[in-house]
Amino acid sequence: MTHTISGQYGRDTIVLETGSWAKQAHGAVVYKSGNLVLLATVCAADEAKEGQDFFPLTCEYTEKLYSVGRFPGGYFKREAKPPEHEILISRIIDRPIRPLFPEGYFCEVQLQVQVLSADGDVSVAGHALNAASAALAVSDIPFNGPIAGARIGRVNGELILNPTTKEILNSDLDLVVAGTKTHIVMIEGEAKELSNEEMIAALRFAQKHIAEFVTLQEEYAKKIGVVKREVKLKVRDEELLSKVKEYAFAKLTTANQTPDKTARNKEISNVNKEVVEFFKDTIEDSDKIKDIKAYLHELEYEIVREQVLTKGTRFDGRKLDEIRSISVEINPLPGPHGSAVFTRGQTQSLGVVTLGTGSDNQRYETLEGQKEKSFMLHYNFPAFSVGEVRRSSGPGRREIGHGNLAERALKLVLPKPDEFPYVIRVVSEILESNGSSSMASVCSGSLALMAAGVPIQGSVSGIAMGLFSDSSGKYAVLSDIAGLEDHFGDMDCKIAGTRKGITAFQMDLKVTGVSFDVLESVFEQAQRGRFHILDIMEKHISKASSTLAGTAPRIIVRNIPKDRIGELIGPGGKNVRGISELTGAELYIEDDGKVTISGSNQESAEKAAKMVDGFLQR
């Protein structure tokens, strides 16, 4: 039986339909907004795998090029490996949904959202999250939702829900928010140096509209008569837990006071081995040994949080708002065009900048057509950075997401192309990690850009904020969280920006939401931390180097009439090829008549520019 419901979501009319397509999925919704049609499906295993002790959730967002009447590029003419923008939207779906499944639910869940028909004016990210939540809402899979997503823009000071693609181009804010009826659960986006107050206002605006769409989903599920599966949770052995706590609590408390990550992990491992060894002779059931390990983790969770919430101190002795020690190196590498090492505690990022020409632009395909990027930041997280051994492979979802966040933090302070006509690539090599490596990438990237002579508008720093809270409403906000505090905390909120304001942000929760009072505290405390970091960074370099590296290309730009592009190129590229052969420079000609001339030195570029000028005078 087909069930349909429609409702207004800002300026958009949303239609949800289930029961007609993909009926064998455990939950399936056709989601429509204008010409946009999404199919969201979800399936879950009936039982968790034997020994499963984590929640295996997979979220996949896919854009079908037939949705805009186009063939995929490449030899095989079919969609293949997901491009980065699809991976980023998959992460936007995953992050707010994951913490809302019941604790202890370990059945495998696969959630897929496909774009079947696209609307060029409609931004998809918020709608994709809504479709995913709706599929869960109409399924029998246990889920503490629904939630809703909202993309927020701001044009001429006016906040806009789900802005069009054209409005986003003129917006000083690009924010994706997910929330329940009452609380925000995820934020991500970029801003043109907005203040804390402006950010909170945008989040309040989003929350109001999110509540409207959550209500629509609740009405829809009620109309269908959804009955959720019963969650079968493992029964805790309270007697064994009590014995483990009595034996191990003091030992774990002592081990947790070790500030060094490697030493602390070793101490905790030794305690765990000792406890298992102590109990194994009295326990015949091997599953009980696994239970002991789980109970030890629970005790560690309790110890770390109790210290923060009752004593106001952290495992490494820092105050709640204290930043770890910071060191900076400028241009440690002689070969690259610019480099910097930023170290904060046991997190270290090597930022390296390469300057290129128009031919180095990154080209990629989206539903809107072919696009180009002249700035990119790539984030690498090798196994040695955390003292592990694993197979090296290409960047995973985490690396792509972290790189994108750091890229967004820096791109808004870059000079305009007519002021600095270079393609810029920043690489962040994480050399060691103990929390907040993406924000270390922002700092090393900002320093390396200045070292390379890129005239950015101001230094950018980033900080990761944490939250510990309890059922009574008591909470503590932590600045510059280490990996342990991220693992045992309720929130990971990354905020980057200049002294003028915020440029990028990302927040994920492990709880079902945070209040605006908490968010205001987080943003205010983060600003103090960011400024402290900027003070240290600017002691080492506060403005761009006045000269480019000797190995950087030299670029001169000329603009020619469009109707003379063919003449300059010549038959079969003869003229351009001749200029290149005589001068050693390269010419990159764009459709609008912009000619970028790049040489390995200034003399080469100037010689080619004179030849182009001479051609135009014919």
Q: How far is the C-alpha of 439 from the C-alpha of 543, rounded, in Å?
A: 20
Residue 359 lies in a domain: yes
Q: Which of 59-73, 155-169, 273-287, 538-552 has the lowest mean pLDDT?
A: 273-287
Residues 6+ apart with CB under 8 A from 357: 422, 423, 553, 555, 586, 588, 596, 598
Residue 302: which H helix or E strand, with range?
helix 286-306
Residues 6+ apart with CB under 8 A from 37: 30, 31, 67, 115, 116, 117
Mean pLDDT of the region 194-209: 97
Residue 137: which H helix or E strand, with range?
helix 125-137
Instruction: For the chain, give the mean pLDDT.
Output: 94
Q: Are residues 438 and 583 both part of a single domain?
A: no
| DSSP line for 94-118 | HHHHGGGSPTT----EEEEEEEEE-
492 is in an annotated binding site: yes
Classify 225 in phi/psi space as left (phi over 0), alpha (psi -120 to 50) or beta: left
Packing angle of the helix pair 261-280, 238-255 (nearest 10 deg): 150
Q: How far is the C-alpha of 94 from the C-alpha of 101, rounded, in Å?
A: 11
Q: Does residue 23 have a pLDDT over 90?
A: yes
Mean pLDDT of the region 233-259: 89
Residue 511 lies in a domain: yes
Please report, for the domain that includes residue 605, its CATH number.
3.30.1370.10
Q: Are residues 300 and 343 both part of a single domain?
A: no
Mean pLDDT of the region 252-262: 90
Task: Note whether 33 and 13 are within 8 A (CB).
Answer: yes
The conformation of residue 188, written as its DSSP 8-state character, comes to E
Q: Are residues 254 and 395 both part of a single domain?
A: no
Q: Are residues 220 and 242 both part of a single domain?
A: no
Q: Are residues 297 and 408 both part of a single domain?
A: no
Q: Are residues 62 and 119 both part of a single domain?
A: yes
SS3 of 377, please?
A: strand
| DSSP line for 409-463 | HHHTTSPPTTTS--EEEEEEEEEE-SS-HHHHHHHHHHHHHHHTT---SS--EEE
Residue 233 lies in a domain: no
Q: Are residues 194 and 258 both part of a single domain?
A: no
Please report, for the domain that includes residue 283, its CATH number.
1.10.10.400
Domain count, the chain: 4
Q: What is the pLDDT of residues 519-578, one digit of tens each?
A: 999 999 999 999 999 999 999 999 999 999 988 999 999 999 998 898 899 898 888 999
As a residue count, the chain comes to 618
Predicted confidence at residue 120, as pLDDT, reads 84
Q: How far is the C-alpha of 351 from the C-alpha of 336, rounded, in Å?
A: 10
230 burial level (CB within 10 Å; 0-12, 13-18, 19+): exposed
Q: What is the pLDDT of residues 94-123, one digit of tens each?
A: 999 999 999 989 999 999 999 999 998 888
Predicted confidence at residue 122, as pLDDT, reads 87
Mean pLDDT of the region 17-44: 97
Please report, for the domain that includes residue 189, its CATH number.
3.30.230.70
Q: Are residues 389 and 536 both part of a single domain?
A: yes
Residue 50 lies in a domain: yes
Residue 231 lies in a domain: no
| φ, ψ dihedrals at 334, nearest 5° | -75, -25
Residue 480 lies in a domain: yes
Predicted confidence at residue 121, as pLDDT, reads 85
Q: What is the pLDDT of residues 413-455, one digit of tens each?
A: 999 988 999 999 999 999 999 999 999 999 999 999 999 999 9
Mean pLDDT of the region 20-42: 97
Q: Nearest-5° angle of CA 443, CA 435, CA 89?
A: 80
Predicted confidence at residue 474, as pLDDT, reads 93
Q: How far is the C-alpha of 385 from the C-alpha of 453, rounded, in Å?
A: 29
Mean pLDDT of the region 449-470: 97
- What pTM was computed for the model? 0.94
Residues 6+ apart with CB under 8 A from 426: 351, 352, 353, 375, 376, 377, 378, 406, 407, 410, 445, 448, 449
389 burial level (CB within 10 Å; 0-12, 13-18, 19+): exposed
Predicted confidence at residue 80, as pLDDT, reads 84
| φ, ψ dihedrals at 335, nearest 5° | -80, -50
Amino acid in the structure at residue 406: A
Token pair recorded at residue 34: 């204008």
Q: Are residues 77 and 170 both part of a single domain?
A: yes
Which of 255, 285, 311 marks a domain boundary? 311
Predicted confidence at residue 51, as pLDDT, reads 80
| DSSP line for 5-58 | EEEEETTEEEEEEESSS-TTSSEEEEEEETTEEEEEEEEE-SSPPTT--S--EE
Token pair recorded at residue 451: 């070292």
Which of 510, 540, 570 marks a domain boundary? 540
Q: Are residues 141 and 33 both part of a single domain?
A: yes
Amino acid in the structure at residue 444: S
Q: Are residues 61 and 155 both part of a single domain?
A: yes
**What is the span of the domain harbouring residue 346?**
326-540
517 is in an annotated binding site: no
Mean pLDDT is highest, among 105-114, 253-262, 356-365, for 105-114
Amino acid in the structure at residue 473: G
Q: Does residue 391 have a pLDDT over 90?
A: no
Token pair recorded at residue 537: 């960074």
Compute the half-sphere exposure of residue 285: CA atoms within 13 Å on the CB side of its CA: 7
Who wins on pLDDT, 235 or 587?
587
Token pair recorded at residue 415: 């000079």
Q: Does residue 600 have a pLDDT over 90?
A: no
Residue 547 lies in a domain: no
Sheet bearing 375-380, strands edge to edge = 326-330, 338-344, 347-356, 423-432, 375-380
Residue 197 lies in a domain: yes
Q: Are residues 463 and 530 both part of a single domain?
A: yes
Which of 514, 540, 566 marks a domain boundary? 540
Q: How far is the C-alpha of 444 from the C-alpha of 440, rounded, in Å?
A: 6
Token pair recorded at residue 261: 């990550």
Task: Note whether 440 and 342 are within 8 A (CB).
Answer: yes
